[in-house]
Structure 1
Amino acid sequence: MVTWPAGLSIKPLMQAEVDQAVACLNAIATADNSGEYVTRADVEDSLASSEHALGVWREDQLVAYAMVMHPDDDSDLAIVNQKGGVHPDHRRHGIGGPLLDWINNRPAPAIETEIQASNHGALVLFRSRGYQPIRYFSVMQRPYDATPIPAGPVPPGFDLIPFDPAYDESLRLAHNEIFQDHWRSHPKSKADWQKWFTGRSVFRPGLSYLVLDGDRIAAYTLAYEFDVDTEQTGVRELWAGQVGTRREYRGRGLARAALTAVLRAGAAAGFDRSGLGVDADSPTSAFRLYENLGYRNITSKILHQRIQ
């Protein structure tokens, strides 16, 4: 039984309430400096993909929400991922505790969520409910300022080209191979590849680059632009979503060449900065590469897990 503070209305969060949800989620993103701004389409997709969705209302304002997503079929634990948060104007009012209790009442062997490292209140709350940190991730940024973009020469025998749709299927297969030794990475089907990578409206093919060994993809960097982030922050950011090199080509500067090409393309296109995310425990030397190119860590996220 979950006990809520007085004066709140608790009910399922519905598609008809997307506008209020967008306002709440973007206020949370701003307060937590997460950069995770959302559009109507994002929230509609999350609601459609969720198993349970809850809204906490004070009069006509959505002050907190929670979404319990369908279990991850790729996990041996049938892990359930949850999203949730409390509007910054309504924090420290006893809402976060019962919201998390509601989530924990869902039947699942394990529940996971990401928490901003700067959100100390959330860290304390989740750990008081049995969640433990299991993985750390960094968000890095590089401004386009007076600092020159470092060189990224292409070694002899390789070709650097902008993304070409003719290589899309080869790129999907290369991506699956490159990331097979990364934590919880699973092969991407053609449908998933289109949905989450090169078929997205935010994908910028003209700003993405491939490094070829003949016709074989050796390395690549894919770039994205999220208009909602620009609307919320006033800063135009080119996001390097995927950076990878096939194992047999690692150590030759190919990822550096591809990412440097993306950086230069972003500068020429008028972006204010570039950003990317990195697993702190990545099996590659990615973090060192990004720092060498001028990226700096600006925020961290900690994945927490609760075994039910």
Structure 2
Amino acid sequence: MTTANLSPVSERAQAPDRLPVLPATEGLSWRALTPGDVPAWYALVSTVEEHDDAVERSSERDLADVFKGTWRDPARDSVGGFDAQGRLRAFARSEFEPVTAGTLAPILFGAVHPEYRRRGIGRALIEWSEARARQQLGAVDSSLPARIRVFTDDHHMGAKALAESTGFTPLRWYVEMRRDLAQPLPGVNPAEGIRIEGYSAERDEEVRVTHNESFARDHWGSSPISAESWQLQVINTEGFRPDWSFVAYDTATGGVVGYTLASAYKQDWEAQGFSEGWTDLLGVRREYRGRGIAGALLAASMAAFAESGIEYAGLDVDTENPTGALGAYTRLGYDRCRTGVLYAKELS
């Protein structure tokens, strides 16, 4: 079915008038999360991530940033379950930023403290957050494709079983890859007519536009990133490292043709047992591909990681990436590690 044939998403969403009532299991009481809950939220998330051996760990700043962004409404999009002592024991939220191109795709987040599991709380929360996602989609005037998403680590059997039992289907697999920086690094050899330079805030908007015109055009499930979201979720994050990030320019035009943006997620390092420079985004305009630009950008970042004393370079990749990225990363010395799974419900 083409986009032109899709009915309005407000119809496809089948949004409920009211959200499901959450259970008072184990004496839990429910309300929306607020900025004042961040310390308790972080304590819960840290306990859950340690128990579940999560591939990625959260920082307290990550959670505080959820309350920023004009598209967000935490008072309606989040809920927390508190015990009689006021301790947060479970939460859920639906993250959704409307877009004008690509796919409308809320993503659901949630967790239950290990001591409160197997009581139906997780199922109730995923049903609540899905209902909220449908309400979010129901308020949008658009006929774009839409899907509701849930992401989990592949080794987390409980989370996968919960997603599948509530009607979500595994749709995509993402592989975490890692490269030992103690091994000889590849040279930075861009194609003729291409110049690699360090990231510059002055050219940041051009990098965002390049991202939207390259990455969002060709990568499954991608949609353009707004200027506000780019600043909040990419550039002004706790871990972003401009000194590890690079931009490729066409020497004839001076235009941005590729980029790599990297971060230091120090909250992951203790659990991993090593330091890591992480490539968040890597993209090359379609007409400039096949000229070694992506490899040159990654090589520049690897050299910057190593100069900072970092032990490994890391990134993740969609196993069905149409640009052949998985093979390209392997040739650069990256090894496959753990895998994540994207579950979805398509609203066709």
Match of 2:66 among 29, 32, 46: 46
Match of 1:182 among 219, 225, 230: 219
Match of 1:19 among 26, 39, 56: 39
Q: Residue 17 of structure 1: SS of its match in structure 2?
A: helix
Alignment of 1:1-308 (within 5 A): 4=23, 6-12=25-31, 13-47=33-67, 49=72, 50=74, 51-60=76-85, 61-70=87-96, 72-74=98-100, 79-106=105-132, 108=134, 111-145=148-182, 147-179=183-215, 180-214=217-251, 215-230=254-269, 235-306=274-345
Contact kept, 8 Å, 1:47 with 1:53, in 2: the verdict is: no
Paired letter, 2:63: V
CA distance, structure 1, for counterparts of residue 302 and residue 185 of structure 2: 7
Residues 239 and 177 (structure 1 numbering): CA distance in 2 closer, same or farther, change over 3 Å? same
Cα offsets for 1:77-130 (capped at 9, x unmatched): 854321101233443444322333333444716532112111111211221111
Higher strand share: 1
Equivalent residue pairs, number: 307
Contact kept, 8 Å, 2:92 with 2:109, in 1: the verdict is: yes
Paired letter, 1:134: L
Q: Residue 26 of structure 2: SS of its match in structure 1?
A: coil
Runs of 4+ with deviation above 6 angstroms: none
Greater shift after overlay, 67-76 or 149-158?
67-76
CA distance, structure 2, for counterparts of residue 100 and residue 195 of structure 1: 26
Greater shift after overlay, 74-83 or 258-267?
74-83
How far 1:201 moved relative to its partner? 4.4
Instruction: Report the TM-score when normalising by structure 2.
Output: 0.77
Greater shift after overlay, 190-199 or 103-112?
103-112
Contact kept, 8 Å, 2:181 with 2:310, in 1: the verdict is: yes
CA distance, structure 2, for counterparts of residue 201 and residue 79 of structure 1: 25
Any gaps of 5 or more consecutive residues in structure 1? none
How far 1:231 moved relative to its partner? 6.1
CA distance, structure 2, for counterparts of residue 219 and residue 103 of structure 1: 37
CA distance, structure 2, for counterparts of residue 276 and residue 92 of structure 1: 34
CA distance, structure 2, for counterparts of residue 250 and residue 185 of structure 1: 19
How far 1:205 moved relative to its partner? 1.6
Cα offsets for 1:240-293 (capped at 9, x unmatched): 111111212211211101101100110110112221121222221111111122
Equivalent residue number for residue 3 of structure 2: none
Residues 32 and 291 (structure 1 numbering): CA distance in 2 closer, same or farther, change over 3 Å? farther
How far 1:21 moved relative to its partner? 0.8
Equivalent residue number for residue 6 of structure 2: none
Equivalent residue number for residue 140 of structure 2: none
CA distance, structure 2, for counterparts of residue 28 and residue 191 of structure 1: 30
Contact kept, 8 Å, 2:101 with 2:223, in 1: the verdict is: no
How far 1:140 moved relative to its partner? 1.8
Q: Residue 235 of structure 2: SS of its match in structure 1?
A: coil
Paired letter, 1:82: L
Contact kept, 8 Å, 1:71 with 1:81, in 2: the verdict is: no
CA distance, structure 1, for counterparts of residue 333 and residue 67 of structure 2: 38
Q: Considering only aligned residues, what root-mean-square deviation do their CA atoms show, in Å?
A: 2.8
Cα offsets for 1:155-193 (capped at 9, x unmatched): 333222222334323222222221222223233333333
